Amino acid sequence: MTETSAPPRAPADSGGASQDDRDPFLDADPEALARRDPSRTAAQWAELQAFDRAEIERREHLPIVDRPDDVPTFADENEEVAFWDTHQMGPALEAWCAAQQAGRPQPAPPIDDSRVPLGRPASPPKQAAPVSLRLEADTVRRLRILAEKRGTKYQTLLKQFVLERLYEEEKRDHLVG
């Protein structure tokens, strides 16, 4: 077993759950586990328990992802593994995933506005909301020319202009510093 790979999950002890709902396996006697399943020694069972305890402690401090929209699109499985190694799934997202897997699609959980600070967000949103906007043909032409000169797409340039202006208006109204 290497330090970078997680050991296989050990079976839970048949004893009752402890008062804090910890996995009974974590509190089981390694000697008893070795007697019940001799495929591992008591020392190997103790090592598995120590690994699980350390992993539980590490995961307690990871950021919680509550909405499907907050999960990025991954290029490959390695990228997905790296993301979930540094984030944990919140209860709302777990319920949403369970419903999707059971064939009962649900809308994404609502955004908790009390956690969203006023003004500019700390990081850009993971997914953009589609917006329909009618502009005069000459405005679009001018945007395209300027975007081409700057080496970008006109929609990207338009979004940048909106964000810059929004920030200026928020500053003027003392919503951001």
pLDDT digits (tens, 9 = 90+) for 72-118: 888 888 888 888 888 888 888 888 777 777 776 666 555 555 554 55
The residue with greater pLDDT, 134 or 111, is 134
The residue with greater pLDDT, 177 or 36, is 36
pLDDT digits (tens, 9 = 90+) for 42-78: 999 899 888 888 888 877 888 888 888 888 888 888 8
pLDDT at 13: 37
pTM (two decimals): 0.39
Task: Round to whole Å and give the CA distance between 125 and 16.
Answer: 44
SS3 track for 22-88: CCHHHHCCHHHHHHHCCCCCHHHHHHHHHHHHHHHHHHCCCCEECCHHHCCCCCCHHHHHHHHHCCE
pLDDT at 10: 43
Q: For residues 112 and 64, is the Cβ–Cβ distance under 8 A?
A: no
pLDDT over 70 percentage in the chain = 73
- Stretch 128-156: mean pLDDT, rounded? 84
Give the mean pLDDT of the chain.
75
- Stretch 115-123: mean pLDDT, rounded? 51
